[in-house]
Amino acid sequence: MDTMEALMTRRSIRKYEQKTVSEDLIEKILRAAMAAPSANNEQPWHFIVVEDRNVLDLIPRVHPYAQMVKEATLAILVCGDTTLEKHPGYWVVDCCAATENLLLACHALGLGAVWLGVYPRAERMQSMNDLFGLPAHIKPCALISIGYPAEKKDRPDRYKTERVHRNHW
């Protein structure tokens, strides 16, 4: 799958087959995430790979929109490390770039995934802190539910000419 095809056909997948994602694919996904651009090349990210069924089943109890994790065999929590920042606040942008790379890698590798927002919701961030025992300098940004897709979705054309401005508003 080429880059444009991946960009134009990726969709949020919330239904999964009960099939384990291999360590090889997990590493490829994480390598893609870590290939993301970051401010001053800070790379302030950390990733928690969640495969334990007991932990996966706890996630929907603390995140109101994470019910699909009950079907997933894998989730990844993308976190920012504030001690690695040269420019405060950029950890969020950097982790979002890593998250998008992760989503595109999943799609290109035949997996389905959905981005579950954590940051900036204080209650979700606290829930992830508590569930995963995060140190104070590690901030949860996004949770990605991953698995082999048990659904297929068409991709609508989202291009809107009225949102494009040239040279000025």
Q: Tell me what pLDDT residue 162 has.
A: 98
Considering the domain boundaries, does residue 158 fall inside one? no
Contact 96, 141 (CB under 8 A): yes
Query: What values do phi and psi take at 145, rounded to 5?
Result: -90, 130
Quick check: 94 and 43 in contact, CB under 8 A?
Answer: yes
Give helix then strand counts, H and E, for the chain. Answer: 5, 4
- Residue 164 covered by a domain: no
Tell me the CA distances in angstroms from 139 to 67, 96, 168, one per residue in order.
22, 12, 36
- Is residue 89 in a domain? yes
Residue 163 lies in a domain: no
Structural domain count of the chain: 1
The pTM for the full model equals 0.97
pLDDT averaged per 10 residues in sequence order, the chain, 169 residues: 94 97 98 97 98 98 97 98 94 98 98 98 98 98 98 93 97
Please state, in angstroms and rounded to a whole number, the distance separating the CA atoms of residues 40 and 31. 19
Structure tokens, 137: 């300098």
CA–CA distances in Å: residue 133 to residues 59, 69, 92: 13, 19, 20
Q: Is residue 166 part of a domain?
A: no
CATH of the domain at 64: 3.40.109.10
Which residue range forms the structural domain that includes residue 59?
Answer: 3-150
